[in-house]
């Protein structure tokens, strides 16, 4: 069954509704073909890789194969943050890689925020890029303590320290400048067009069934490439080449109708800015270019066997919780009509550390594991992978996530039991801290488990 792109997210529905993209399907792979580079997955990582390869080697034969359509995965569903956040925090990065390597990686992430906007503009993509920063709300003494700890860790690692801000409407917050909002649907579909304009080929409705050096087997034929790029994120769990090295974990999102100027004045969030807070069960939001509130968060359960199914994209319980949380944080948004509810799986490595992993002597390169922080990270990954598959040694190919192969998750049913125990405990921890006003003992335990 073919998925209707408009049903996947607000972002893709908006493209069709505004006439920005008719979402017409591309042809499937027409049989056996040869290529210099075959990219598996037409999301941000795969498309940034394809564009970057074609910039470095304009005559290269680049083939992208996609099981559904360009932007079907997390790239067409996310909350629209292009941030410098790396899933592994500054202190942990220093512990794992040393001060210099950690600073180099974080600096590359910060630079990549601007690179997303610069590259999109250069490619003629109007993705509504707005670098307005992000506000982490401080609404309790515990949040204040967490904010100061974040500032201290950044200072200790020699990184830019987020500033404290105060606003009559928004309230106290920790402001991080290195974050932009954007329309991910416009970006991912624009990148697909850019690949084709530069001579690359994208084949949709082509499911990959096997990968080995020099061969990508699909339901529609075989690609015979010199180099292969695996850019499948959560769906990598279904490929033997990645399998248990990635875990699909669902994040759900909603969009309100456009809010009035008076409502936004009460909320206090500038147009194009993003917002979160310091709870354990992450929430995230942005004020869109057309004044909607797009708001999402975690809390959906993990499904046995790393199952990915269309019915998991929506959960009445989780979406209801998101509506309640949005109303609690921003009463002026309470009662706004919810026009879209959606979700999808993001890719989580066992150690929460994204990776760019050359395999099979460099003939295959896998990249991903962004844990929901992939809009900027995928741009850096795509440029890095392009350097690797075109045999270039650059500053970004020397970053410490290159060459890292993530460990495997536990086999089932241990994986199912452990992951869902952690997910459930985070909600318990938030409730405990809200009721008692002190750090949760449960959060301390699950935090250690999450970093294991």
The domain ranges of the chain are 5-409, 411-452
Q: 144 in helix, strand or coil?
A: helix
Closest C-alpha to 88, from 420, 401, 429: 401
Residue with tokens 């997390």: 74
- pLDDT of residue 55 exceeding 80, the answer is yes
Structure tokens at 197: 């304009």
Are the CB atoms for 167 and 264 separated by under 8 Å? no
Cβ neighbours of residue 324 closer than 8 Å, sequence gap 6 or more: none
Domain 5-409 indexed as CATH 3.40.50.700: no
Per-residue pLDDT of 330-386, as tens digits, reads 999 999 999 999 999 999 999 999 999 999 999 999 999 999 999 999 999 999 999
Residue 417: band (very low, low, confident or very high) from pLDDT cuts 50, 70, 90: very high
Question: Tokens 């993003």 appear where?
Answer: 274
Chain segment 121-156, per-residue pLDDT in tens: 999 999 999 999 999 999 999 999 999 999 999 998
Mean pLDDT to the nearest integer, 385-389: 98
Q: Is the pLDDT of residue 449 over 60?
A: no
Residue 283 sits at φ, ψ, to 5 deg, of -125, 155
Residue 158's pLDDT band (cuts 50, 70, 90) = confident
Residue 247's φ and ψ, nearest 5 degrees, are -125, 130
Residue 159: closest CA among 82, 97, 94: 94
46/38 Cα distance (integer angstroms): 10
Buried/exposed 221-239: b ≥16 CB within 10 Å, e otherwise = bbbebebbbbbbbbbbbbb
Residues in Cβ contact with 435 at an 8 Å cutoff, skipping those fewer than 6 apart: none
Write down the pLDDT at residue 15.
98
Confidence of residue 60 (pLDDT cuts 50, 70, 90): very high
The Cα 13–Cα 183 span in angstroms is 12
Q: Tell me what pLDDT residue 45 has.
A: 98
| Cα–Cα distance, 427 to 390 (Å, whole number) | 46
Round to whole Å and give the CA distance between 206 and 29.
Answer: 6
pLDDT of residue 438: 67
Residue 82, strand partner residues: 180
The predicted model gives 83-106 an average pLDDT of 95
Distance of alpha carbon 374 from alpha carbon 41, whole angstroms: 14
Q: Which residues have C-beta within 8 Å of that of residue 362, sequence separation ≥ 6?
A: 227, 388
Q: Do you know the residue count of the chain?
A: 452
Output the DSSP codes for 347-359: EE-TTS--EEEEE
């Amino acid at each position: 069954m073919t998925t209707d792109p408009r049903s996947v997210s607000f972002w893709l529905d908006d493209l069709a509704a505004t006439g920005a993209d008719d979402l017409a399907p591309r042809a499937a792979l027409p049989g056996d073909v040869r290529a210099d580079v075959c990219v598996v997955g037409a999301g941000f990582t795969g498309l940034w890789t394809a564009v970057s390869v074609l910039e470095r080697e304009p005559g290269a034969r680049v083939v992208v194969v996609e099981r559904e359509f360009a932007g079907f995965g997390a790239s067409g569903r996310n909350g629209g943050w292009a941030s410098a956040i790396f899933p592994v925090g500054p202190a942990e990065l220093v512990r794992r890689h040393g001060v210099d390597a950690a600073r180099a990686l974080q600096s590359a992430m910060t630079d990549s925020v601007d690179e997303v906007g610069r590259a999109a503009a250069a490619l003629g993509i109007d993705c509504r890029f707005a670098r307005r920063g992000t506000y982490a709300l401080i609404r309790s003494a515990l949040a204040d303590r967490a904010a100061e700890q974040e500032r201290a860790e950044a200072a200790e690692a020699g990184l830019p320290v987020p500033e404290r801000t105060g606003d009559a409407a928004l309230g106290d917050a920790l402001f991080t400048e290195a974050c932009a909002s954007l329309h991910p649907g416009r970006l991912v579909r624009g990148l697909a067009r850019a690949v084709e304009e530069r001579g690359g080929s994208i084949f949709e409705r082509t499911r990959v069934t096997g990968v080995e050096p020099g061969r990508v087997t699909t339901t529609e034929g075989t690609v015979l490439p010199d180099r292969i790029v695996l850019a499948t994120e959560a769906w990598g769990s279904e490929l033997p080449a990645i399998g248990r090295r990635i875990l699909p974990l669902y994040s759900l999102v909603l969009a309100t109708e456009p809010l009035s100027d008076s409502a936004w004045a009460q909320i206090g969030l500038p147009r194009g800015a993003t917002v979160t807070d310091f709870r354990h069960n992450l929430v995230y939001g942005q004020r869109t270019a057309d004044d909607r509130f797009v708001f999402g968060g975690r809390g959906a359960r993990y499904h046995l066997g790393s199952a990915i199914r269309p019915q998991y994209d929506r959960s009445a319980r989780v979406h209801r919780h998101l509506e309640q949380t949005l109303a609690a944080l921003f009463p002026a948004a309470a009662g706004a009509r919810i026009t879209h509810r959606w979700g999808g799986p993001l890719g989580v490595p066992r150690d929460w550390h994204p990776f760019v992993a050359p395999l099979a002597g460099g003939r295959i390169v896998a990249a991903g594991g962004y844990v929901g922080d992939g809009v900027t990270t995928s741009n850096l990954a795509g440029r890095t992978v392009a350097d690797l598959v075109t045999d270039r040694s650059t500053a970004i190919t020397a970053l410490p996530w290159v060459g890292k192969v993530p460990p495997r998750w536990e086999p089932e049913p241990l994986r199912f039991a452990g992951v869902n125990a952690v997910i459930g405990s985070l909600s318990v921890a938030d409730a405990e801290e809200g009721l008692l006003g002190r750090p949760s003992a449960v959060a301390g335990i699950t935090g250690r488990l999450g970093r294991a």
